[in-house]
Amino acid sequence: MPELPARMRGRVLYHLHSLGAAGAPAANPDSEAAAPCGRGLRRLEAWLDHVRALGCGGVLLTPIFISSTHGYDTVDPFRIDQRLGDEGDFAAFADACHGRGLMLILDGVFNHVGRAFPAFRDVLSRGAASPFAPWFRLDLAAGGPDGFAYADFEGHPELVALNHANPEVLEWAVAVCRHWLDRGADGWRLDVAYLIPEAFLASLSQSVREVHLDAFLFGEKVHGDYVRFVEESGLHSITQYELYQAIWSSLNDANLFELAWALRRHQTFSEAFAPVTFVGNHDVTRLASRLHNPAHLGPALAVLLTVPGVPCTYYGDELAWEGRVERRPGGDDTVRPPLPPAPTPANARQAEALRLHRELIALRRDRPWLTEAGLEVGEVSGPRLSYTVSDPRGAGRLLVTVDLAGGPAPSSEGWSSVAGGAGWSIEAPA
């Protein structure tokens, strides 16, 4: 299992849904055009001062490469989507990130491509005679509107599954990763890594690190054996959906036994790797819409920003934006809105959310040892939970208490307050 790049320690990633945040049209008007039809990356670049002021140490972008619609139906991963600009805009964005001390993490879609992907268009034209037929999992005898059937991503025919047993597909994925790392990216999120064979990911990871040793590589993983997957995939990390679920669910139920169970699991994961943690992303209902009690934002963030791993903040969550994912076409749109002209809180609730994010991200940044900390769950009852996080090198220790019974969490003997609010506290040894 590869060691986490040292430059990731203490960083919080700011997650932007690129096309949505840029206010780009839902569909690409011409995916074959040579010139841009928009300058979305410039709109995202204008937000970077806010990201830096928030205290984050990196930007995670969802796909920025040519696609037909939402970014995950890839047409050409070697070019910037026309709605976002061109390679010059990307270079300017990468420079703007690095000039502010921000790492830049891109989103790689290597499980599937769009139907307009040139290799698949060639298969549509020539069938079995296409030299690209082995790139996909085809059933050439099945018939149907295309004259054959093919595997897709979770029942979406517009997303054509790749054949990861084909060495040419691996070579293509490696080339994509290296291309953008050469041009200023610092790492990759691998979309739906849970559907990609671990052997393919291991070869990809090894090939990338041969040229870019410090590139941060993590995969999207929803459930399953997290530790085994990381060990066999060669990735540095995966997304920690178990903890995400437990945070909002246990707060809503005022039943912190669920969170205690998830924290103990989280510790077993973090002993092997640094999980990518979050309370919101581009695929899930926003935290402000999940929580039954808005006052529980503080406890949720206190947990996110004190447990071991690499935390992510989803854009707009720091302003308590709301939005629910619905199971329908376009059902993600409400959680992927355009950026406003300025990150100005519109009301007291938004101002408090921004204050909490700044305070707790600063706490995290000042204690980089939290990335690889040990975690031990202490007292737990229905509405009350405490745990400690400790630097394995002995440089620091924190006691975190969540108490949903009402009022501020009481101070503990031998500890002094570092941060806190209604229902939560973070303390350091007195």
User: 291 falls in which pLDDT band (50, 70, 90)?
Assistant: very high
Residue 261 vs residues 222, 258, 264, 376: alpha-carbon distances, Å: 17, 5, 5, 11
What is the DSSP code string of 160-225?
EEB-TT-HHHHHHHHHHHHHHHHTT--EEEETTGGGS-HHHHHHHHHHHHHH-TT-EEEE---SS-
CB atoms within 10 A of CB 412: 16
- Alpha-helical segments (H) within 9-86: 18-21, 40-45, 48-54
| Pick from 74, 56, 55: nearest CA to 65 | 74
Q: What is the pTM of this model?
A: 0.97
Residue 98: both structure tokens together: 């690095």
Mean pLDDT of the chain: 96
Q: Is the pLDDT of residue 328 over 90?
A: no
| 8-state DSSP, 254 | T
| 8-state DSSP, 280 | -
**Which residues are bridge partners to 139 per DSSP?**
149
Q: Is the pLDDT of residue 126 over 70?
A: yes
**In the block, residue with structure tokens 């629910």:** 324
pLDDT, residue 160, reads 98
Alpha-carbon radius of gyration of the chain: 22
Q: What are phi and psi of 61, to 5 degrees?
A: -105, 135
User: 241 falls in which pLDDT band (50, 70, 90)?
Assistant: very high
For the chain, report the end-to-end CA distance as a whole number of angstroms: 37
Domain architecture of the chain: domains with CATH:
6-371 (3.20.20.80)
User: 408 falls in which pLDDT band (50, 70, 90)?
Assistant: low
User: 201 falls in which pLDDT band (50, 70, 90)?
Assistant: very high
Antiparallel, parallel or unpaired: β 13-16 and 384-390:
unpaired
pLDDT, residue 144, reads 87
Query: Which are the contacts of 197, defined by CB distance < 8 A and separation ≥ 6?
Result: 164, 165
User: 412 falls in which pLDDT band (50, 70, 90)?
Assistant: confident
Dmax over Cα atoms in the chain, in whole Å? 75
By three-state DSSP, how is residue 281 classified? coil
| Three-point CA angle 42, 48, 51, nearest 5° | 150
Instruction: Give the Cα separation of 262 and 313 in Å (integer).
Output: 20
Residue 168: both structure tokens together: 């040419």
Span 386-396, average pLDDT: 94
Residue 19: both structure tokens together: 């096309």
Instruction: Give the Cα separation of 305 and 311 in Å (integer).
Output: 7
Quick check: 84 and 61 in contact, CB under 8 A? no
85-120 per-position pLDDT tens digit: 999 999 999 999 999 999 999 999 999 999 999 999
Which class for 125: exposed (0-12), middle (13-18), buried (19 or more C-beta within 10 A)?
exposed
Instruction: Give the Cα separation of 238 and 79 in Å (integer).
Output: 26
340-378 per-position pLDDT tens digit: 999 999 999 999 999 999 999 999 999 999 999 999 999
By three-state DSSP, how is residue 114 classified? strand
166-176 per-position pLDDT tens digit: 999 999 999 99
User: 395 falls in which pLDDT band (50, 70, 90)?
Assistant: confident
Which class for 39: exposed (0-12), middle (13-18), buried (19 or more C-beta within 10 A)?
middle
Name the region of 353 (left: φ>0; alpha: ψ -120 to 50; beta: rest).
alpha
Quick check: 306 and 370 in contact, CB under 8 A? yes
pLDDT, residue 409, reads 59
CB atoms within 10 A of CB 380: 18
Quick check: 396 and 367 in contact, CB under 8 A? yes
User: 280 falls in which pLDDT band (50, 70, 90)?
Assistant: very high
By three-state DSSP, how is residue 395 classified? coil
Residue 258 CB-half CA count within 13 A: 14
**Which residues are bridge partners to 237 per DSSP?**
218
pLDDT, residue 396, reads 95
Which range is least confidently modeled, 62-71, 120-129, 205-214, 328-337? 328-337
